[in-house]
Amino acid sequence: MSLGCSEDQLTIQPNSTYSEIVSGCGKSDVMTLEGGSWASLRERVAFELSCPANQIDVKIISSSLYGVTGCNKKLVYKYVLNAGIVIQSVQDTGGTGPADPAAMTK
């Protein structure tokens, strides 16, 4: 788990049919069931931004909207039924790197 907590320090809150909010050690993550396996939003964002997971901050805006900051980027992700978590917006908060979702996939 990317929160760096032991299992007994975690709180798991069912969020929707295929997602759960996991909190512990002052951090949050969104776990989604994708292809029969659980996937971490925090780990996905760390990969997408080439940013260490410990520099990623996940805020739960609503049950289907998640704000993420890290490595000079501010992103909003949305949970869409039958599609999973999709990126809704990206903002560059200083520093260098791609500032739009399309550029991040190249």
* 10-residue stretch averages of pLDDT, the chain, 106 residues long: 82 83 90 87 94 92 92 93 87 64 48
* Angle CA 37–8–43, to nearest 5: 40
Q: CB–CB of 53/2 below 8 Å?
A: yes
pTM: 0.76
Q: How many domains does the chain have?
A: 1
> In DSSP terms, which residues pair with 27 in a beta bridge?
24
Domain enclosing residue 52, as ranges: 7-104
Residue 11 in domain: yes
**Cβ-contact 49, 42 below 8 angstroms:** no
Is residue 2 in a domain?
Answer: no
Note whether residue 74 is domain-resident. yes
